[in-house]
Amino acid sequence: MRKTIAIVGAGLGGLTLARVLQAHGVAATIYEGEASATTRTQGGLLDIHEDTGQVALRAAGLYDDFLTLVRPGEDAKRVVDRHGTILFDMPANPASARPEVERGELRRLLIDSLAPGTMRWGHKVTSVLHRPEGGNVLTFADGSAVRADVVIGADGAWSKVRPLLTPAQPVFSGTCFIEIALTSGGQSCRASVAAIGSGTLMAVAPGKGIIAHRYADGHVHGYVALNKPEEWVRSVDFGDPSAGLRRLADEFDGWSPLLTAFVTESDADPWLRPIYALPVGLTWTRVPGVTLVGDAAHLMSPFAGVGANLAMYDGADLAGELVEQPDIDVALGAYEERLFSRSTNAADRSARNLKSFFGREAPQSVVALFDHS
């Protein structure tokens, strides 16, 4: 393929896309706004599914390397009510078909697998212009610009590529996360850390929850979840971390101290993450030389547990089409037909699961969700 391919965004989907293309001798360039791979932390654990994420890693020729990153024993799940009473307890499965890995380590594996010069760090795309005569022009924050025959938006929720295809924008789900952590290993609240078990603890109730994961080295990372109006999200100020944590703890008045300790003893600055989602069933009309992968195409809440897996699968699926089909727009059309189907199913499940987690029937609804999974 002699066409120039620009991938906007260095998330898991864009990286997988570039890696699979290069494995077949097709060049691509990734433009990423962040200055380097270490500009920010990359979140917590991901369970990599055998029918999506693992398929993508095999296509990328990285499956064996992926296995060296697996964290056995951290897939345990425990659901409790606000008093800390255990309602569901699933032990770790060393032979799990969905092994857990650190998102940051997986991302580093993909970055390191790319040919030199693939990554263009510090290239924040501000706009993409589709030219009627063919090709696209990407403009960056520093005023520079490049032309590419094919542009693939792998740039997440607020994609700069998506407007070329659809006016759809993410909508606030009504739920937000605030990051909490015990990076010191939780020495000041050992009983709380022990209450997690060996994996993830989910303490949920209507409209709120505390989710905490215990890593093998003892440190804890998690989130407070709150159902709040968007006006609250816009107005909340965590400029004073200590005061912010106290306000969060007030949201859990009457909860077991074993659970509220994850908030009051957190040594992470509270970081607000409103949960947005694109409309379920989003499609668009084919635009020559442009498409999307991952959250740019099907942003959803994390409650189906498939976002990262779908992003990697999207990347591998699209790369396969571009390699096999000489007509680019035939390739993009075939890819999008499959993309729309799989993302609609996943987004619908994600939206329903979000309601189960923090709806009126929580925590019993969460127990039922795991009992039937």
Could you tell me which residues come within 8 angstroms of residue 92 by beta carbon, excluding any fewer than 6 positions away? 72, 73, 74, 75, 76, 198, 199
Angle in degrees, 0-180, between the axes of helices 12-23 and 307-324, rounded to the nearest 10:
30
Contact present, 211 and 239 (Cβ < 8 Å) = no
pLDDT at 269: 85
In tens, the pLDDT along 20-64 reads 999 999 999 999 999 998 877 666 789 999 999 999 999 999 999
pLDDT at 43: 65
Does the CA dihedral 250-254-260-264 come out positive or negative?
positive
The DSSP bridge pattern shows strands 29-31 and 208-214 to be unpaired
Chain-centroid distance, C-alpha 297? 13
pLDDT at 40: 74
d(CA 47, CA 106): 11
pLDDT at 42: 64
**102 bridge partner residues:** 45
pLDDT at 114: 98
Tokens of 176: 């937000």
Could you tell me which residues come within 8 angstroms of residue 304 by beta carbon, excluding any fewer than 6 positions away? 346, 347, 349, 350, 353
Contact present, 32 and 69 (Cβ < 8 Å) = no
Tell me the three state secondary structure of residue 53: helix
For residues 24-46, one letter each, b for 16 or more C-beta atoms within 10 angstroms of the residue's C-beta and e for the rest, the string is eebebbbbbbeeebeeeebebbb
Q: Which helix (H) or strand (E) holds 324?
A: helix 307-324
DSSP 59-71: HTT-HHHHHTT--
**172 bridge partner residues:** 276
Asked if CATH classification 3.90.79.10 holds for the domain at 5-71+96-170+278-357, the reply, yes or no, is no
Contact present, 180 and 212 (Cβ < 8 Å) = yes
List the chain pLDDT tens, one digit each, 373 residues. Answer: 579 999 999 999 999 999 999 999 999 999 999 999 887 766 678 999 999 999 999 999 999 999 999 988 778 999 999 999 999 999 988 878 888 899 999 999 999 999 999 999 999 999 999 988 889 999 999 999 999 999 999 999 999 999 999 999 999 999 999 999 998 666 668 899 999 988 899 999 999 999 999 887 778 999 999 999 999 999 988 888 888 899 999 999 999 999 999 999 998 888 899 999 999 999 999 999 999 999 999 999 998 889 999 999 999 999 999 999 999 999 999 999 999 999 999 999 999 999 999 999 999 999 999 887 6
Query: CATH 3.50.50.60 in the chain, residues?
Result: 5-71+96-170+278-357
pLDDT at 186: 60
pLDDT at 185: 61
CA distances from 179 to 158, 167, 203, 212 (A): 21, 31, 15, 10
Whole-number mean pLDDT of the chain?
A: 93
Please tell me the CATH code under which domain 172-276 is placed.
3.30.9.30
Contact present, 119 and 33 (Cβ < 8 Å) = no
Query: CATH 3.30.9.30 in the chain, residues?
Result: 172-276
